[in-house]
Amino acid sequence: MYRSVLRPVFIIFGLIALAAYATIMLRGPQGLAALQEKQNTAHRLEVEIANMRKQNSEQQQRINRLKNDPDLQESVVRQRTGKTHPGDTSFVIPDQPKKPQ
């Protein structure tokens, strides 16, 4: 007789313990909050990767243009070095003094 009564009690107790354990684990530091944080981090990293791929593509296009366009090469070199061709006129504009306020 006791066996027929105790068996459902143990089953109910086991289910309650399992539900309590699941609740504690889901609300704990390794639970849903950590999962949400990991998903946010993954999304942020995906956006960062997409931006870096875009920048990489733009740089690759610039490199290809520089490799294949001698005029662009010359203009970049002249701009960086400040050199001009013989006969070119270059203008140097001094910085304007700041007005006192």
Q: What are the domain boundaries of the chain?
A: 46-80
pLDDT tens series, the chain, 101 aa: 667 778 888 889 899 999 988 888 778 777 788 888 999 999 999 999 999 999 999 999 999 999 999 998 888 888 888 777 777 777 777 887 777 76
SS3 68: helix
Residue 22, token pair as written in the block: 């699941």
CA–CA separation, 45 and 41 (whole Å): 6
pLDDT for 66 equals 92
Torsion of CA 26, 27, 31, 36, to 10 degrees: 120
pLDDT at 23: 82
Give SS3 for 24: helix
So what's the pLDDT on residue 59?
Answer: 96
- In degrees, rounded to 5, the angle at the alpha carbon of residue 18 between the alpha carbons of residues 16 and 19 is 65
Prediction pTM value = 0.54
